[in-house]
A and B are shown apart, each in its own frame.
Chain A
Amino acid sequence: MANPGEDFSQFDISKEEKDKLVAEVIRYILFKTHQNSGCPIKREELSQLVTKNYRHRLLPAYIINEAKDKLSAIFGYELRELQRLRPSSTNQARLSQQSGVDAKSYVIVSQLPAEVYKKYVEDVNTSHLTGFTFVVISIVHLAGGKIAEENLWHHLKRMGLHEADENHPILGNVKQVVETLVQQRYLQKDKVSGPEGTTLFYELAERALDGPVSERIKQYISQIVKKESATVDVL
């Protein structure tokens, strides 16, 4: 029983209405996450659930915050906010015109300690995808955060993963899985025009650059390479 009536009285809704909205937002997050396999959900989509029926300007933010608290209390999930990035090449062009806030999006992340998660919660049927995600992100990371498409496939080929392979025994359509990483915002695509025409680059996107994720990736890479993590950045 946190704050008493004041919180929602400023919004002119009852406690039941508030609870209903919060529940709707949480359900939306859970079901949508399942449907799109963990692709980030735009803040706009959540706000719309509120503004559909209620007009108070500050209500969406309040409801989303409440939903964040409840998700953590009931499920042990953190509603992690990601700032949507633009690819670095277009960023340069935009520097002169810093528009408003770039779109925020959300993913849910378990708050359980890693060993506990691994022991009881992790679905072993999807670990191959997690493994693949890690491999691809590491390659891009080691390439300095950005890599040409051709180079990426060159490295993947060394592990037996081919761009044209649609029937890999574990991953199926390999190119499709890489596409999924783009949709999940671990990577983003960027077309760069060069002397030979446009080249497609893959760049780390907000999900891979997120603090805790980025840290752990560096740790794992350094474990594999057996050097100190400080030196991993220097490439």
Chain B
Amino acid sequence: MAVLNWKHHVLIQSLLERGPLTEKEFHTIFTGITGHNPGTHQGKFNDYLLKINRELSYVQLDLRACRDQYDGQVYYGVVNNVSDEQSKLGTKYSVPQIAFFKAIVLNSLGSQSQDGSPTIPAAFRNFTMSQKEKTLDQLVQDKWLCYTEDDNIGVGVRSILDLRSWFHNAEVPSCEVCNEAGLKAKLCPNEGCIVRIHQYCLNKRFSQRGVIVCPSCDTQWQYQPPKAEPLELEDEATGPMQSQPPTKLTQNQPSLRSRRKRQRVSQNDDAETVGCSSQASQPSSDMRRVTRSSTHLRYGVKSDVFEKRYIPVDL
């Protein structure tokens, strides 16, 4: 007797064919095929997922949810649990492309990573600029990486879904609240304290308790509730930026240079923020599209700077 029916199959196949989906998209599919909204029928929704995962465990796969580290949005995806001979086939990326990706992610983890310099395959040395650009585009399209509002490169949803154990092994510190890797998280203002918490976890806690107190050292955190109105769409020429210690991945451009200076100046004020992008308002998907197309232009302008950023890093 079949355990799963076509409705379960739709949910699984949609994630396999389309890649990670936002909660909204996934819920829309669920509502479409069952007639029930997961918001109001949480139990039924969970039931479906539970049944699916029981069957998927036969092949060491998992239907999982995670949060995008930059906007806190929930994504669903089917994830591989075991690294074996078969899963090693499961990629269209070549060896140098994967080395490139690894370097970017390790870079974005910055000093948090304990990983030594990665072994660099010989093929990577011949990796040209345009190959790097193409790889970058492909990685963003497949959601392994993402473009952030301030035109940096961030860790994408796919990486968060699939690479959980890798981050753990690289000893990326976890968020105190949700225990997921704190790739983009706020540090405790107390300099001796290593506690970190995601912005969206802070939001939740603040709305529950009205105040944020460090669970480890009892320091009170300065907390800014997120703005109610989304900021106007920012393009690269304008827009106030909350400061960020710029990582090695920031693309350069004449108009951006002043912005970077501003970032560096105010860096000291806002030293509690860690990670590789700034924290602006809710990015709309339109904004991402704006950013993406403009980023393409930028690669052309300052290619030598870009080149320097992407040479394999001796971390």
Is B one of A's binding partners? yes
**Chain A residues within an 8 Å CB radius of B32:** 119-120
A74 touches B18 (CB 8 A): no
Q: Tell me, yes or no, whether A24 is within 8 Å of chain B by CB.
A: yes
Q: In the docked arrangement, what's the CA distance between A116 and B6, Å? A: 10
Segment of B88-96, B121-129, B266-274 in the binding face: B88-96
A30-38, A192-200, A223-231: which lies at the interface? A30-38
Q: Of residues 1 to 51 in A, which have CB atoms within 8 Å of B's CB atoms?
A: 19, 23-24, 26-28, 30-32, 34-35, 37
Distance (whole angstroms) from the CB of A188 to the closest CB of chain B: 24
Given contacts A70-B58, A110-B13, A121-B18, contact A31 B87 (CB under 8 A): yes
The residues of A that contact B13 with a CB separation of less than 8 Å are 75-77, 110, 112, 117, 121
B92-A74 in contact (CB<8A): no
Say yes or no: is B86 at the interface (Cβ < 8 Å to chain A). yes
Interface size on B, residues (CB 8 A): 30
Could you tell me the distance in whole angstroms from the C-beta of B235 to the nearest C-beta in chain A? 24
Q: Give the CA-CA distance A116 to B8 in the complex, in Å.
A: 12
Bound-state Cα–Cα, A191 to B133, Å: 38
- Chain B residues within 8 Å of A19, by CB: 58
Interchain CB contact (< 8 A) of B58 among A74, A122, A123: A74
Residues of A within 8 A of B18 (CB): 121-123
What number of A residues sit within 8 Å (CB to CB) of B? Answer: 30
The reply to whether B90 and A121 contact each other, CB–CB distance below 8 Å, is no
Residues in A with CB closer than 8 Å to B87 are 27, 31
Main secondary structure of the interface of B (DSSP, over half): helix
Contacts of A125 in B (CB 8 A): 141
Determine if B33 is an interface residue (Cβ-Cβ < 8 Å). yes
Q: Is A73 an interface residue (CB 8 A)?
A: yes
Chain B residues in 8 Å Cβ range of A27: 59-60, 84, 86-87
A 105-126 to B, binary, CB cutoff 8 A, 1 in contact else 0: 0000011110011011111010
Contact A74 B90 (CB under 8 A): no
| A30–B10 touching, CB < 8 Å | no
A111→B6 CA distance, assembly (Å): 8
**B178 is an interface residue with CB less than 8 A from chain A:** no
In the complex, what residues of B have CB within 8 A of residue A111's CB? 6, 9
Q: In angstroms, how far is the closest chain B Cβ from the Cβ of A48?
A: 11
Please give, as numbers and ranges, the residues of chain B lying within 8 Å of A123 by CB-CB distance. 17-19
- B267: shortest Cβ distance to chain A, in Å? 38
CB of B177 within 8 Å of the partner chain = no
Docked CA distance A199–B302 (Å): 48
Residues of A within 8 A of B8 (CB): 76
Residues of A within 8 Å of B49, CB to CB, are: none
Q: Which residues of A are found within 8 Å of B58, using beta-carbon distances?
A: 19, 23, 70, 74
Q: If A35-B89, A73-B4, A116-B10 touch, does A121 touch B59 (CB 8 Å cutoff)?
A: no
9 A-B Cβ contacts within 8 A? A23-B58, A28-B86, A73-B4, A74-B55, A75-B9, A76-B9, A120-B14, A120-B32, A123-B17
* Residues of A that sit less than 8 Å from B by CB: 19, 23-24, 26-28, 30-32, 34-35, 37, 70, 73-77, 110-113, 116-117, 119-123, 125
- Report which B residues bind A (CB closer than 8 A): 2-4, 6, 8-10, 12-14, 16-19, 29, 32-33, 55-56, 58-60, 84, 86-87, 89-92, 141
Besides A28-B86, A74-B4, A123-B18, 7 new A-B residue pairs in contact (Cβ under 8 A), listed by A number:
A24-B86, A27-B59, A34-B90, A73-B55, A76-B9, A113-B6, A121-B14
